[in-house]
Chain A
Amino acid sequence: MATETTGTASACVGPDGSAIGMPQLCVDWMPNQIFWLLIALVAIYFVLSRIALPRIATVLAERQGTITNDLAAAEDLKQKAVEAEEAYNKALADARAQAQEIIARNKAEMQVELEKAIAKADAEIAAKAAESEKAISDIRASAVESVEAVAKDTAGAIVAALGGQADDATVAAAVDAQIKG
């Protein structure tokens, strides 16, 4: 084996620098590989267990805490919102009831006043009607009287015109008898 020409002094490398068989099975190299492997593993273990793992565990725990707190706060706020909505609905219902009450009261008051006004108007109308009726009956009475007087005068004049002689009492009695008939 011309290992000295390739520079890699090992029974596992041929004179042209290529591997003889599987380099994996070359016992010459194993102590070196194992040594560096152990160094690498120990280094990774210490980096992880001393620095990385506690840090990540802390971060994860903190995040879990933050999430839990935020969820609790959100739950609180939600509860408050529900309460506020309930208060609002209650206030709305109260206001509605109050409005209904006021409307009903106003209606009743208006009804009373209206009835009063109607009654007053009715009374006035009745009074006016009675007055008018009286006036009408007066006028009617005076008209009848006038008709009687005119009839008597007319009858007296007609009798006189016909050359008769009639006293007023007779004429009046005759006219009265005619009118009543």
Chain B
Amino acid sequence: MATEADGQSAGGLVFHPMDQFIVKPLFGDGAVGMFTFTNVALWLLLAVAAVAALMVLGTAKRATVPTRSQSVAELAYGFVYKMVEDVTGKDGLKYFPYIFTIFLFILFSNFLALIPTSFSPTSHIAITAVLGFGVFIAITALGFIKNGVSFLGLFWVTSAPLAIRPVLAIIEIISYFVRPVSHSIRLAGNLTAGHAVLKVFAGFGQIAAVSPFAVLGVVAIFGLEVLVAAIQAYVFTILTCVYLKDALHPHH
């Protein structure tokens, strides 16, 4: 917070709520190239480490009566497994490892981002757009591979009167192509907004008179962000399941 201290000494209240999202190299002062080891890389790899710690080290005992960590790992497994099964049906279970990967990645990135001074990868549109468009492209390809041209039946609502089907088809197509955009912006937007608001409340701590309220605000927003972290991971995953269901069973 050196910049905020500078701002205060200059006599004004200075907020830099977006500075926490700056990508910077961890070693050296060069430009951020494609392979530079940046704070993004660090926190992404920490997320990988956390996933591995829970899912591999946590289940290392393979106990029939699970330990605490194994219990949590099984809970996560069962939660997503049941979600995939309930939403997409039995034939969607083939794609469970991919969906579980996405879920755990988002969940752990979101939670690691709650650590003060950490970096939140899932607040970056570059990250969530890769996830969102990756899901979109993979599922669209899968829909055509599985169903051939009849996948386009997804846009031809046979339960509607014939006269309004073309109109519905246009609406369906637009909504289909908006999916990846909303899918990725929803996640990045939620994370960005929450973390920025945390920083703004923290910034009010510069004024002694309101600093108690600033602390209370930070605590309240932090609690909200804990919820958001879990809920956004859940929402992203269940929407992926819904889209996958459309690809596997395009006929309403």
Contacts and interface: CB of A to CB of B under 8 A. Distances in A.
A164 B204 CA distance: 176
Interface of B is mostly: helix
Contacts of A72: none
Interface stretch (A47-55, A97-105, A135-143): A47-55
Contacts of B166: none
Contact of B22 (A19, A43, A58): A19
Given A37-B121, A43-B48, A44-B48, A49 B130 contact: no
B35 A35 contact: yes
Contact of A28 (B32, B51, B188): B32
A62 to B, nearest CB: 6
A40 B64 contact: no
A58 B62 contact: yes
B64 A22 contact: no
A23 B41 contact: no
B97 A53 contact: yes
Nearest to A62: B64
B36 A33 contact: no
B23 interface: yes
A12 B98 contact: no
A41 interface: yes
Interface stretch (B99-107, B170-178, B206-214, B217-225): B99-107
A12 B66 CA distance: 49
Interface string B130-159: 110000000000000000000000000000
Give the residue among A7, A9, A39, A53 with the most B Cβ atoms within 10 A.
Answer: A53
A81 interface: no
Interface residues of B, number: 58
Nearest to B45: A40
Contacts of A45: 97-98, 101
A37 B62 contact: no
A34 interface: yes
Given A24-B123, A44-B48, A32 B64 contact: no
B97 A33 contact: no
A84 interface: no
B56 to A, nearest CB: 5
A48 B124 contact: no
Interface of A: 7-10, 12-13, 16-19, 21-26, 28-41, 43-45, 47-49, 51-53, 55-56, 58-60, 62-63, 66
Given A28-B32, A34-B127, 15 more contacts: A9-B30, A9-B31, A22-B21, A28-B31, A32-B34, A33-B127, A35-B34, A37-B40, A37-B44, A40-B45, A47-B56, A56-B55, A56-B59, A60-B77, A60-B78
30 contacts: A9-B29, A9-B30, A9-B32, A17-B3, A17-B19, A19-B22, A24-B125, A25-B125, A26-B23, A29-B126, A32-B34, A32-B36, A32-B41, A33-B23, A34-B130, A35-B35, A37-B121, A37-B131, A39-B45, A40-B45, A44-B105, A45-B101, A48-B51, A48-B100, A51-B55, A52-B73, A56-B77, A59-B63, A59-B70, A63-B64
